[in-house]
Structure formats: structure tokens, C-alpha cells
Amino acid sequence: MRKLAVALVVLLVAGFAVELSAQEGRGRGNPYRGVRGSIKREAEKNEKQAEQHRKEAARRNEKEQAEEEREAAKEEREAAKKEKKGEDAAGDAMEMPEGAVEEDVKPGETIPRAEKDGILDDIMDELGLKDAALREKFKKSVRSAWEDSEKEDKRYYGEYKKADTSEEKKAAAKKT
């Protein structure tokens, strides 16, 4: 019985020793310890970097598109300025609207009201104004400004005509 007890104790100690060595293999001495976790961490790190690169690329694309839009808007503004000056983008003289006065109006001259209304109607059609109230309001304000401009032109033409005879009178007229 004693031999049996010793044999059992030896078997138990050997069994525990095998179990203990197996536990140590998962512990400090194992060179592959935590490999699975580190691979996962590296993959997550790479994924984060890839996401950051995608976001940066998207931001760069948005900036480039915004820059292109600004450039296009700038070119449109410059083209509009040229049109206001009477030139189109090619630098040629613009065509007059259909009802516009083609001959030059001499200083001090005025255009009859009916002719102004015809020109304004053509311009409103070109602009696409359809509402009668808006057309009337537009016509009234533009006609008023046009007539004020003609009055100023007439007044300055009178002064210019008087001052045309001498340089001293021209200088005095320019001051006023």
C-alpha cells in the first residue's frame, strides 16, 4: 500500500509538473506570447493610418475644387467687367441691343420718351422680366435715372460751350 501511495504521489507530482510547465509556456518564457494581439493592434493601427490618409486626400480634393471654383468665379467677374466696358471676352466691341440708339447722342441732346420706352422694353425682354409690376417699376426707375443723366449732360454742355472760348473759363468750369 505504501508503494501504491508513493506511486500515486509521484504520478500526481509529475502531472502537476507537466501542467505547470505548460502554463509557463504561455507565460514569460514563450517567444510567441501575445503575437495574436500584436498583429491585431498593427492591423488596427494601419487601418487608422489609411483612414487618415483618405480624409487628408478628401480635404485636398475639396480645397482644389474650391480653388477651381474661385478661379472660375474670378474669370466670370473679369468677363463681366469687360462686358460692362463694352467689350466681350475676345476684346471686340459688343453689339448694341436691338432698340438701342446706334448713332452717338451729341452733348445736350435728349432722346424722346417713346424711344426710351422701346429700348427699355427690349432690355427687359433680354433680362427675362415677365411680371408687369416689376417691369413698370424697372422702367420707371431706369427712365428717371436716364432723364437725370440727360439733365446733367445738358447743364454741363451749356457750361462747356460757354467755356470753350478760353482756357481760363475751361479751368474755372472744371473746378465747379
Highest mean pLDDT among 10-24, 33-47, 86-100: 33-47
How far is the C-alpha of 18 from the C-alpha of 22, rounded, in Å? 6
Return d(Cα 160, Cα 158) in angstroms, integer.
5
Instruction: Write down the pLDDT at residue 107.
Output: 67
Name the band, by pLDDT with cuts 50, 70 and 90, for residue 89: very low
- Can you give the pLDDT at residue 48? 93
Greater model confidence, 137 or 91? 137
Mean local confidence (pLDDT), 88-101 = 51
Tell me the mean pLDDT in the region 101-126: 78
Q: Which residue has the higher pLDDT, 31 or 39?
A: 39
Q: Is the pLDDT of residue 52 over 90?
A: yes
Q: Which three cell numbers stand for residue 7?
A: 506511486
| Cα→Cα distances 44→47, 51, 113, 147, 156, Å | 5, 10, 79, 76, 81
Residue 160 burial class via C-beta count within 10 angstroms: exposed 0-12, middle 13-18, buried 19 and up: middle
